[in-house]
Amino acid sequence: MYGSKQIAPGRWREDIGRTYDDFTVGDVYEHRPGRTIGEADNTWFTLLTMNTHPLHFDAEYAAASEFGRPLVNSCLTLAIVTGMSVSDVSQKAIANLGWSDIRLTAPVFVGDTIYAESEVTSKRPSKSRPGQGIVGVRTRGLKADGTVFMEFDRNILVPRVAG
């Protein structure tokens, strides 16, 4: 949740994120703002991560592919979509417990604006950590036209009460 908490008389600190009790199975959080992917984003990320596939950074090579132009590196879109979800889903997380079932369902190109949304799919108190709980979410990456280009599941460990 977004807001501020008072830390001293007349002094407030931004307080975002959710604790265990703030999550309800079935709720969907639309993460904003969106992000328009630029050519430099894709090229730099691809080269920084040592991905040598020319489909991401060689326009001539990509022009001859079925896509006709460079694809945005899917690891970049995974990182951006996950990052978009942080303030709603994992700002107060103790730990990410894992990602699973990452599905890439449509290509993303330079110039596409992407958004993300997460649906709470499960929650339960931790069996081994009193005062903490495990929340499961399914996050989707969507293009501005509504096309879903990515889906994945993530489990996070969160405190049961605000700290």
Whether 79 and 150 have beta carbons less than 8 Å apart is answered as no
**Per DSSP, what are the bridge partners of residue 6?**
12
Asked if pLDDT for residue 2 goes beyond 70, the answer is no
Distances in Å between the Cα of 78 and the Cα atoms of 31, 104, 150 are 14, 9, 8
What are the tens digits of pLDDT across the range 111-124? 999 999 999 999 99
Task: Write out the H or E segment, with its range, that includes residue 104.
Answer: strand 95-104
Alpha carbon distance 18, 158 (integer Å): 8
- Residue 16's pLDDT band, with cuts at 50, 70 and 90, is confident
- Domain 4-159 has what CATH class? alpha beta
Model-level pTM? 0.89
Note the helical H segments in the chain. 39-48, 59-63, 74-85
Radius of gyration of the chain measured on its C-alpha atoms: 18
